[in-house]
Amino acid sequence: MALIDLYHRFKVPVFWTTLLIVYGLAIMPADQAPDLGAGDKVNHMTAFFVLTLLGRAAYRPVAAWRLATGLSLFGILIELTQAIPAVRRDASVWDWVADSAAILIALGAALIVERLRRR
């Protein structure tokens, strides 16, 4: 099986697996969660940048605004879950803003690359 065939076969499961991993990491107690070492907002932006690129690859026929909306709502879900005291995390609207900014940056980059490839 060629590498491109593997990519096409597994791009949807890779997206959903990554989404579940991001959620799991986001609801871990803060002292146990991995950190990229550059701050909380960088962690959020990195996770959502990667999720957006994987989501765009997995669901290219889906309108970009739908993917952006879905991932932004996922960011809200994370913050709502983090607001539960038993989770021992801090919810912040600024984390959601960082998530949404990363979504827009990644989606913009993906759309530019797609447009260039069509030429």
The stretch 83-91 carries a mean pLDDT of 89
Tell me the average pLDDT of the chain.
Answer: 90
Tell me whether residue 19 is exposed, middle or buried, using C-beta atoms within 10 angstroms of its C-beta: 0 to 12, 13 to 18, 19 or more: middle
Task: Compute the distance between CA of residue 1 and CA of residue 21 in angstroms, rounded to an integer.
Answer: 27
Gap between the Cα atoms of 105 and 119, Å rounded: 22
Q: Rounded CA gap, 56 and 11, in Å?
A: 10
Write out the two tokens for 28.
Answer: 């871990």
Tell me, what amino acid is at 116?
A: L
- pLDDT of 23-78, one tens digit each? 999 998 877 777 767 777 898 999 999 999 999 999 999 999 999 999 999 999 99
pTM greater than the 0.85 cutoff: yes
Does residue 100 carry a pLDDT above 70?
yes
pLDDT of residue 1: 60
3-state secondary structure the chain: CCHHHHHHHHHHHHHHHHHHHHHHHHHCCCCCCCCCCCCHHHHHHHHHHHHHHHHHHHCCCCCHHHHHHHHHHHHHHHHHHHCCHHHCCCCCHHHHHHHHHHHHHHHHHHHHHHHHHHC
In the prediction, which pLDDT does 102 show?
Answer: 98
